[in-house]
Amino acid sequence: MTIIDYSLFILFGVLVVGLGLWISYKKRGQDAHGFFLAGNTLPWWAVGGALIASNISAEQFIGMTSAGYTVGMAVASYELMAAASLVFIAFLLMPFFLQHQIYTMPQFLEIRYDSTVKTGLAFYWVILIVVVNISSVLYLGSLAIEKMGISKELAILLLIIYSSATSILGGLTAVVWTEVIQLVILILGGLATAYFSTAEIQNSFFNSLAYLYENFSSHFDFVLEPNHPKYNEFPGWGMVFGGIWIANLYYWGMNQYIIQRALGAKNLEEAQKGIIFAAWVKLLMPLIVVLPGIAMFYHNPNLINPDDAYPILMEKFLPVGIKGLAFAALTAAVGSSISAMVNSASTLFTLDIYKTLWKQNASQNELVKVGKIASTLALLLGAIIAPSIGLFGQAFIYIQKYTGFLSPAVVVLFLWGMLWKKASAIAANFVVIIAIPFSFVLDYYFPEIPFIHQMGISFLFLSFVMLIISYLKNPNKNDEKALELPNMQISKNLILQSIGIFIVLCLIYGMFS
């Protein structure tokens, strides 16, 4: 990189850190509601922008580009089906959450079931966020920054400092507003990398795209055939109608570090508008994070480590100035995601573990203090684990697989708890206890089953457990903690936008399957 690139990179980092520190200073002395939920002040565009910025991370830029390199557009189903899932979340889950003034996902489980279910899942969630999410994003981010001539260990340290400026000091308000700023640079930097790495092939972006489609047509298959060597990781139509719905419903609607942005919205309508906005942006993501991987396969089909694809593209094909912008975009992606994860792990620990098990009458100031300590520990533990993530193969697959050990249980608890009034606390506790052991057994004895299908099998098995035990508990009556369906009024504009999203999805899969 030239001095111009380094200057742009540093300038952007200083801008984001400065903004985070300024907001943190302005928000000093805020109560727990302000620290963890931004005081319910977020407008729709901040909600939608923060949702995408929290989601777009090294997991996408590096992990999905890596998968795009090895398999092609089949990995894009994670992005496309996320758009469909977000519509469902906006219209079913958000009314439940906001009607009951939910701060955290375990809090909903306590309202619907009992405190044991809440605390058990809170422990699982905190461990998952630290061991899988924070550590893997730090690892992937360090891979990219390493291309600037910085050691992986120093890169992790810089990412911790960058992220801590918002996540530890300012709470959700600082996290969200810096995420909105970072989203702009994320989109611009991502599009720049996709454009220049592709246009280089035939000296024109669209000519190059046509060339890639003609000569590497298998990389443009959104639905893989069973004889494809990567079918086990991306199992055909199972990526559209199977366990991927479990992954997306969990990730976007029941995952604390994502849904917390929508929980901080001014009201239900603002939350729904922000979520639908995020769904439209997800439709663009294959262009930004998968196409560069296909371009890299043209440039170098023999990479030893596919996770290096995106950093190499930025290093070799971006012009002066744009290169600094793209590295800033990637750093922003990593930083915003880590900030989101750290803030949410802190929220879960403080409100659902510390306050529940140790000090139910803790003051607002004490909760904020504990939250900051928890944020610091989450960052440090994630950094300690991060260097070992490379031992598990492609990081994107690592994240999806091990998150999938917990997500079926969470979806079972939420969906049946919302939609079936007989669902009982004792059944929910059984689901929590057996979920992860069942997933481990399934993966150990049946490794040939794609993990997407394993999630679907786990969901069906755990649903069966929930139904049988709940029916035995409540054969002739509803559960005493059953919830009424909330007011489902939806604006015509959002309905039309949702129909448009599904039309676009049908066209994409109709053309490329």
Q: Give the integer Cα–Cα distance in Å for 22 and 151.
A: 30
Instruction: Assess whether pLDDT exceeds 90 at residue 475.
Output: no
CB atoms within 10 A of CB 38: 28
Asked, for residue 45, whether it belongs to a domain, the answer is yes
Long-range contact set of residues 456-461: C-beta below 8 Å, sequence gap at least 24: 456/238, 456/242, 456/243, 456/246, 456/408, 457/243, 458/246, 458/404, 458/408, 458/409, 459/243, 459/246, 459/408, 459/411, 459/412
Q: Give the integer Cα–Cα distance in Å for 251 and 258.
A: 7
pLDDT at position 279, please? 94
What is the average pLDDT across 8-19?
A: 77
What is the average pLDDT across 257-261?
A: 78
Asked, for residue 27, whether it belongs to a domain, the answer is no
pLDDT at position 106, please? 82
Quote the mean pLDDT of the chain: 83
Percent of the chain with pLDDT over 70: 88
**pLDDT band at 37; cut points 50, 70, 90:** low
Q: If we measure between CA atoms, which residue out of 112, 138, 128 comes closest to residue 58?
A: 138
Instruction: Assess whether pLDDT exceeds 90 at residue 295.
Output: yes
Q: Give the integer Cα–Cα distance in Å for 370 and 109.
A: 23
Sign, CA dihedral 466-413-440-232, equals positive
pLDDT at position 123, please? 85
pLDDT at position 283, please? 92
Q: What is the pLDDT of residues 336-388, one digit of tens each?
A: 677 778 877 888 888 888 888 787 777 878 887 888 888 888 888 888 888 77
Asked, for residue 126, whether it belongs to a domain, the answer is yes
pLDDT at position 39, please? 58
Q: What is the 3-state secondary structure (H, E, C) of 301-323?
A: CCCCCHHHHHHHHHHHHCCCCHH
pLDDT at position 41, please? 74
Hey, what amino acid is at 429?
N
Give yes or no for a contact between 223 and 513, defined as CB atoms under 8 angstroms apart. Answer: yes
Q: Give the integer Cα–Cα distance in Å for 290 and 32.
A: 39
Q: What is the pLDDT of residues 456-474, one digit of tens each?
A: 999 999 999 999 999 998 8
pLDDT at position 81, please? 92
Instruction: Assess whether pLDDT exceeds 60 at residue 90.
Output: yes
Instruction: Assess whether pLDDT exceeds 70 at residue 28.
Output: no
Q: What is the pLDDT of residues 97-124, one digit of tens each?
A: 888 777 778 888 888 998 888 888 888 8
Phi and psi torsions of 74, nearest 5°: -60, -30
Q: Give the integer Cα–Cα distance in Å for 264 and 274.
A: 11
Q: What is the pLDDT of residues 420-434, one digit of tens each?
A: 999 999 999 999 889
pLDDT at position 417, please? 92
pLDDT at position 387, please? 78
pLDDT at position 353, please? 85
**pLDDT band at 127; cut points 50, 70, 90:** confident
Give yes or no for a contact between 512 and 73, defined as CB atoms under 8 angstroms apart. Answer: yes
pLDDT at position 138, please? 84
Distances (CA, A) of 354 to 32, 114, 171, 173, 369: 13, 17, 17, 22, 12
Can you spell out the DSSP letters for 178-193? HHHHHHHHHHHHHHHH
Domain that holds residue 147: 3-8+41-203+254-395
Phi and psi torsions of 496, nearest 5°: -65, -40
Hey, what amino acid is at 279?
A
What is the average pLDDT across 399-407?
A: 76
pLDDT, greater one: 439 or 189: 439
Q: Give the integer Cα–Cα distance in Å for 79 and 190.
A: 15
How many domains, in total, are found in the chain?
1
**pLDDT band at 294; cut points 50, 70, 90:** very high
361-378: burial string, b at 16+ Cβ within 10 Å, e else = ebeeeebbebbbebbbeb
Hey, what amino acid is at 265?
A
pLDDT at position 52, please? 84
pLDDT, greater one: 209 or 176: 209
Give yes or no for a contact between 91 and 403, defined as CB atoms under 8 angstroms apart. Answer: no
Instruction: Assess whether pLDDT exceeds 70 at residue 148.
Output: no
pLDDT at position 55, please? 78
Give yes or no for a contact between 168 and 376, defined as CB atoms under 8 angstroms apart. Answer: yes
How many angstroms separate the most distant Cα atoms in the chain? 74
What is the average pLDDT across 483-492?
A: 77
Asked, for residue 115, whether it belongs to a domain, the answer is yes
Q: What is the pLDDT of residues 300-350, one digit of tens each?
A: 988 888 878 888 888 888 888 888 877 777 777 677 677 778 877 888 888
Token pair recorded at residue 331: 């750093």
Asked, for residue 403, whether it belongs to a domain, the answer is no
Instruction: Assess whether pLDDT exceeds 90 at residue 156.
Output: no
What is the average pLDDT across 211-222?
A: 90
Asked, for residue 86, whether it belongs to a domain, the answer is yes
pLDDT at position 211, please? 93
Contacts of residue 175, Cβ cutoff 8 Å, sequence gap at least 6: 50, 166, 167, 336, 339, 340, 343
What is the average pLDDT across 219-236?
A: 86
Q: Give the integer Cα–Cα distance in Å for 223 and 218.
A: 10
Give yes or no for a contact between 67 and 239, defined as CB atoms under 8 angstroms apart. Answer: no
Asked, for residue 432, whether it belongs to a domain, the answer is no
CB atoms within 10 A of CB 359: 12
CATH code for the domain of 367: 1.20.1730.10
Asked, for residue 454, whether it belongs to a domain, the answer is no
Phi and psi torsions of 42, nearest 5°: -80, 130
Sign, CA dihedral 490-493-497-503, equals positive
Contacts of residue 428, Cβ cutoff 8 Å, sequence gap at least 6: 109, 113, 114, 117, 413, 417, 466
